[in-house]
Amino acid sequence: MRDMADKPPFRFLPPKSRPARLRPWVQLAFAAIWLAPVRTWTAGIPSCVFHCYACPLVSLSCPVGLVANYATWHIIPWLTIAVVFSVAALVGSLVCGWMCPFGALQDLFNKIPGPKISLPKWTGYGRYVVLVGVVIVLPYVLGGMGIAYDDQVVSICRECPAGAVEAAVPRQVMAWAGIDGPVHVHTIKWVLIAVFLVSITVIYRPWCKVLCPLGGFLALFNRFSFFQLHLNRPQCINCNLCHSRCSMDVEVTKAPNSAGCIRCLDCIACGALTPSIPAFGKKPPKEDEPGDRV
C-alpha cells in the first residue's frame, strides 16, 4: 500500500455521501431540541452536548459546566457522568459531528470563503489539559479554598466561547432591547468573542480540535463505542478521497476511529469505509464484498 501523503488531494471532489449531505439538517434538528424554551422543566437534566446553560434559549444543562460546579462543591456528579458515559459508549464523538449546536455554529462560519489554516495534531491534547486542569482540578482547589464557582475569576464558564456567543451576546442584545435586565459584558469577553469568530472562519472547528473538554472525553470512546467506522482494506484503492474530504485532518486509512475524528461521515463516499454497529447486528461488509465506488 502506498503512502497516502504521496498522493495529491482531489482537485474536483465527487459528491458527498448521503449521510454527509443529511448532516446539516440533522444538526439543525438537534439545535431545535437544545434551543427549545422548556428549561423550566428540564434545566436540571444534563445534556450530552456543549451548549451554555446561561443561554436564554436552552433546554438542558451543559455537562462541562455541571462537572466544574460539582468539582467546586467536592461532589461527584453521578447523573452527568451516567448521561455522558452512556452516550459516549453508544456513539463516541458522533455527538460532536451531528448533535452539538456549537459544532454546527463553527461548521457554518467555516463556510465563509477565505484562507484556511491547518493545526498540528499535538494541539488535540489541549482538550485533555482543559478537561483535567480547568474543568476538574482548578475548581476543586478553588472550591476547597472557599471560593464559590460564580466568584472564580478563572473558570471554564467564564472563559468559554460558547458562553460568550450563546449567552453573553444574546443577553446583551436583550438588555439593549429592554427585554432583560442590565448585563455587563466585560471587555475581555468581547475580545474573546472577536478572536473566536475570526478563528472559526480560518480554522475548521478550532474549539473542537484544541480545547473542547467534552469532545476530548467523547473521543476517548471512539475505539470502543458501539458505533464504529470500518475500513475494508481490500476495497481501498488509495484514491485519497477520504483524506481530501476530512476537515479534522484524521489519518482515516490508518486509524478510522481515532480520537481526532468527529464522525461527520464525510469520508465514506468511496464505499471502502463504512459505518457499522456490530453490537446491534449491523456488521461491517466482508473483506471480499464489492462496495460502491466513486
Partner 1 sequence: MLAIAAMLAVVLWSGQGNWLRRQVGLNLQATGLEAMSTPPGKAASKPSTHPTIKTAPKGKGFCPT
Applying CB under 8 A, the residues found at the interface with partner 1 are 39-40, 43-46, 52-54, 61, 65-66, 69-70, 72-75, 77-80, 82, 86, 90, 143, 146-151, 155, 157-158, 160, 163, 167-168, 171-172, 183-186, 189, 226, 279
- In whole angstroms, the minimum distance from the beta carbon of 34 to partner 1 comes to 14
Nearer to partner 1, 148 or 191 (CB): 148
Nearer to partner 1, 24 or 56 (CB): 56
- In whole angstroms, the minimum distance from the beta carbon of 157 to partner 1 comes to 4
Query: What DSSP string describes the chain?
Result: ---GGGSPPPSSPPPPPHHHHHHHHHHHHHHHHHT-S-HHHHTTSB-SS---TTSSS-SSB-HHHHHHHHHHHT---HHHHHHHHHHHHHHTTHHHHHT-HHHHHHHHHHTS-S--B---GGGGGHHHHIIIIIIIIHHHHHHHTT--GGG-SS-HHHH-HHHIIIIIHHHHHHHHTTSS------HHHHHHHHHHHHHHHHBSSHIIIII-HHHHHHHTTTTTSSSEEEE-GGG-----HHHHH-SS---TTT-TT-TT-----GGGTTSSEEEEBGGGTBPPPPTTS-----
- In whole angstroms, the minimum distance from the beta carbon of 78 to partner 1 comes to 6
Nearer to partner 1, 65 or 260 (CB): 65
- In whole angstroms, the minimum distance from the beta carbon of 95 to partner 1 comes to 16
Nearer to partner 1, 189 or 209 (CB): 189
- In whole angstroms, the minimum distance from the beta carbon of 199 to partner 1 comes to 20
